[in-house]
Structures are given as C-alpha cells and as structure tokens.
Amino acid sequence: MFGLWIGKLAGWTLRLLGRNATSFPGKLALRFSPNLLKKLGSGLDRCVVVTGTNGKTTTNRLLAAMMKQDTAVITNSEGANMQQGLVSALLIHASLTGKMKRKTAVLEVDEATLPAVAESLPVKVAVVTNVFRDQLDRYGELDTTLQKLIAGLNKTNATVVLNADDPLARHIGLRYAGPSLYYGMDRDQGRFGSRDQMRDGAFCLECGERLEYDSFFYGQLGIYHCPACDFYRPHPEFSAEYTNGSLTLTQGDLPKTSFSLPVRGLFNVYNALCAVAAARVLGLNAEQIKQGLEAYKAPLGRMQTYHTHPETILNLIKNPTGCDSVLTAIAGEPGKKIVIIAINDNAADGRDVSWLWDADFELIPEEMNAVHCVLTGLRGEDMALRLKYAGCDEDTLTTIPDMSAAADKGLALAQAAGDLPVYVLSTYTALYPMADILKRRQRTHDERPYYRPSVS
C-alpha cells in the first residue's frame, strides 16, 4: 500500500504545482510496490490497449473520446505508455485502499512493454495500429518488435483489431491464437503512395519472396499478396473510403455510415478507422462514435498552432515513416516557411539517431519552400549535417543548441521575411519544453494553443 499512497501523493502534488504528472507518480509507486499495476488492474472490469509503432496516441485519444460517450473511462491521453505511465493514469482513479473508482480503461501501451502489461491487466480488446522500424536501440529491428507484440497478445484472451493493409500486422494475426478482426481502406480508394516510399515489410515473412502490390497507401500499407505462397491481404471486416474529410465505413452487410473526421492526413484516416473499428467491436453505436469524434482533442505535437508572432505550428517526429508523413503534410501547405527542427537522443527518443538518414528530409529543399532552417537540441548538429546532404544550402541553416534561443531565432527570421509561418519538428523529449517555450511567446494571455486538424 505504501507505493500506492506515495504515488498518489506525488501525483496530487505535481498537479497542484501545475506540473506534468503522467509518469513520475507511477515510477515512484512502482519502486515501492513493483506489482502495483497488477493490483490496480484487478479492479478493472475491462481494459482496451492500443499499441503499434505510429498513431498510438491519436488512436487512443479518439477511442477514449468515443468510449466516454458510453461510460466513465481511465486513459493515459498524453502518451505516457510504459508501466510507470499506466500506473500514473490508474492511480488518479484509485482510492487509498486501491479500489478502482472507474471500471473501464483505454490505455496506450508501448510495444516493448506489452508482454508485461498483458499479464497485469484484464485486456478484452487489443488494437495494433501498424508496425514500422522505430528506435533501433530500444526495439532492435522489426523482427524483435513483431515477436514482442505476438508474445504480448498471446498472453491475453483479447479480441485483437489489426490493420489489414499492413503485411506486418497480418503476420501478427496469423500467429495470434485468439480471435482477430481487420480494418483497412476500401480497395477502390486508389493509390496514395508508391514502392519508392517503402522501407519496411517489403518481403513476405512466411516465405521470403518480395511482395506484390495492386495499390500502395503509404509505407508498406496497401493491397498486397505474395506471388510464391498463400500470404495475402485479408478481407477487412471494417473497410473505409475517405473523401473530403469524411470517412465512410462499411461493416459487413450493415448500412454504410459516414463520419466527419477531426484529423487530416492519410495516416490519420487509418488512426480514425482503427478507433472506429475498435469502438464497433466494443459495442458502441454510430451516434456515440460521432459524438466521440466531435469531442476529440489532438495530443501535443500534432499540428498545434501557437499564437506567436508570426504563428508557429508544432509537430512530433520520431521515426522515418512518421517523419515522412509530417514532412509531406508541411510541404503541402502553400507559401514560404521557416522550419525549426529539435532533435534529442534521450532514452525516450532513442539513442540511435541513424533514422534521420532514412527519413525523406530531401523534401525540405525540393518541395517545402523553406526559406531557412534552425536546428537545435542535443543532436542539432547531426540534423544540420543531414540537411546539408539532403541538398539544403549551408547559408539557409543555423544551429543553436539552446531551444529557447532557437525558437527566438526562428521567429525573428520569420518576421524579417514578412511574417512567414514557422513549422517546428521535434522529437519526444524536446516536444514538451518546446511547447512551453512557444506558450510563453504567444501574443495573448490564453496559453491554450489552437488545434489545427492533427497530422499524426
């Protein structure tokens, strides 16, 4: 009990001081009570976990917003997805005796943490967004991530919701012993990407042959099959067509249902489809799903606009595929821009920054119309080198290690160039400090950023 009490006290104190209490209370509590997650989990009736490489936080928030239309929900909406973050979220709704005041949890879970979490929580539904290469020092290559996901899922009795368009997720489904359902884009949706964008999952994991595609969506996602064995994209129970901000869902023989999406970008269409499919599995009706979509608020680093002078738009980047999606979205915005990129290599970011060389930063000189780039963070110089090799003129690159000074430089450059918009790309541990810096530089007393439609 001591761990529970000290964790609750730490959380209460941090929130009273206006500080982030998403991880430290759980970390402190687990130091004194290592089995606290299992203890708190035993008080839940059901738990939904959201895992995968990209889109976990957005999908988790979307699904939690939908679930809140039906019942009171516990969730880790800020993305603290390792054991200490899960415990921190549960502690808020636990009594001093450990009794849970709410009985349903919707929790984002880190892929590497899933096996331990699966043994501690009553997982009824598990959602896998996608599988891409991410943080090589933590996860290793894709085979390691896949094995951890498969091992974790097989420790549950959950219904697993998988991305039919991702051959790596399909591989997981074939090795999961329990029930699984698939979601995916409509076959007639058309092409969005090409094989040139493909870095992961190019080969069949069943026989090693190169996969063939009828259509690409992004990354390795698309309509695929193996020419040498019977591995193919399964027919999804939940399929969708996306047109002009609206998602039209097809579910078996049921009438088609359309939902207006509060997010943009194809990868976010997948996030929304994933959340809608999971909500259907959990028994929510169309009206509850629509109300949840309307109540959704984007997590930090998903195209938030801060009312600085001029405006600043903040985005999270953490791996090649997710970074490419952000770069593509920014390149699609009209007009000239100033770009600030903050790269850290702390444990939560991943110590290995070689992923910078796999991301398509060539988009900055070729398509983004960026007037100047300011590089900052612990690995700002590495980012500057990457942009030089991408083709950026050295005269358009400035490296400033201090993030506050870098933000000021970016804003000054934007003002001098005629109040250009400033786009900030940041790794995880630089994200919250950069958000605080931008809040302090807003022109109004309202510290809340304006939430553009999310792009990640």
* 356 neighbors 343 (Cβ within 8 angstroms): yes
SS (HEC) of the chain: CHHHHHHHHHHHHHHHCCCCCCCHHHHHHHHHCCCHHHHHHCCCCEEEEEECCCCHHHHHHHHHHHHCCCCCEEECCCCCCCHHHHHHHHHHCECCCCCECCCEEEEECCHHHHHHHHCCCCEEEEEECCCCCCCHHHHCCHHHHHHHHHHHHCCCCCEEEEECCCHHHHHHHHCCCCCEEEEEECHHHCCCCCHHHCCCCCECCCCCCECEEEEEEECCEEEEECCCCCCECCCCCEEEEEECCEEEEEECCCCCEEEECCECCHHHHHHHHHHHHHHHHCCCCHHHHHHHHHHCCCCCCEEEEECCCCCEEEEECCCHHHHHHHHHHHHCCCCCEEEEEECCCCCCCCCCCHHHHCCCCCHHHHHHCEEEEEEECCCHHHHHHHHHHHCCCHHHEEECCCHHHHHHHHHHHHHHCCCCCEEEEECHHHHHHHHHHHHHCCCCCCCCCEECCECC
Q: In the structure encoding, which two tokens stand for residue 168, read together? A: 């790596």
Q: How far apart are CA 308 and CA 21, in angstroms?
A: 27
Is 360 assigned a catalytic role? no
Catalytic residue among 137, 143, 214, 352: 352
Q: How far apart are CA 417 and CA 327, in angstroms?
A: 21
Catalytic residues: 352
